[in-house]
Structure 1
Amino acid sequence: MEINIIAVGKLKEKYLQDGIDEYIKRLSKFAKVNIIEIQDEKLKENISFKEIEKIKQIEGNKILSHIKSKDYIISLALNGKTLDSVEFSETLSKIMIDGYSSITFIIGASLGLSQDVLDKSDLKLSFSKFTFPHQLMRLILIEQIYRAFKIINNETYHK
């Protein structure tokens, strides 16, 4: 299984990178993990709705250029479906049973994802009604992927 995480913006905090590296190491017995960073667009003060949509489109085009047609696409979105950890593991298991060998997760920048990216997604997933910094969301996502694989393989960790 291959897990791709496409994330807009650069991860700068060492403590977050250390946590992500630890979970990638733990996940290595279940899946190959690739993290693809997309350059975020610079925001100016008092940005208009039209400018927001333009920036989301530019970032969205960069994201879409990294998606392979055979991937199962899961976009993180505030208005997406919410799952608990067991439901998330069941979802990943079903995706694998359905024959997908690659799952791509997409984390947008602070403005969110373009409609084109959302339309391309097989699943829109929300982790919470809270808003998280996109850098922190990488760590939360990868920990939940690890937890899901532990559940799928009937290994202790998730309780």
Structure 2
Amino acid sequence: MVELDQRRLMVVKNLLNELEFYTNDVVEEANRGGLCIEINGWHLYPVFQFDENMELHGQLKKRLDDLRTGRNDVDVLYWLFAEKTVLMTKAVAPYHLIEKALGSGDLKAHDELVSAEARQSEYLTARPIDLLGKDEFDVFVDDWKLGDYRMIPRKEVKDISGW
């Protein structure tokens, strides 16, 4: 437990060093529902979440409840700034080709289909914060919150050699 507390302290320290913050003096009451780090009674609101009118970024505001479910604001901030890779579109070989390869016992053909699926699937590597304001931000949130239950768009594998 001590090790976990020390790692958490390091995360907070790094966030404090890397981010700019507003205090309650600057953030109006209506926007204090945004991400916040509280230290010794001070409420620190990361600047990136506010627009030029000091309003919370709409997309972030819309997804805050999802992001906070089961986590606190430090966890959410860490997640926002950590680079990750998300499957955006899964390539799937046509069923009849898989059935043909397996039915004939042609494991080499089956392996080629599996390899083609992997090569043609689309991934995005980014920090979620860099996607704020784009549709991909919501995909990253859904991937984090829904995991294996996320609906991933599919496309058919194309240009399979020898088929």
Question: Smaller-chain TM-score range?
Answer: under 0.3
Structure with higher RCO (Cα < 8 A, 6+ apart): 1
The TM-score with structure 2 as length reference comes to 0.26
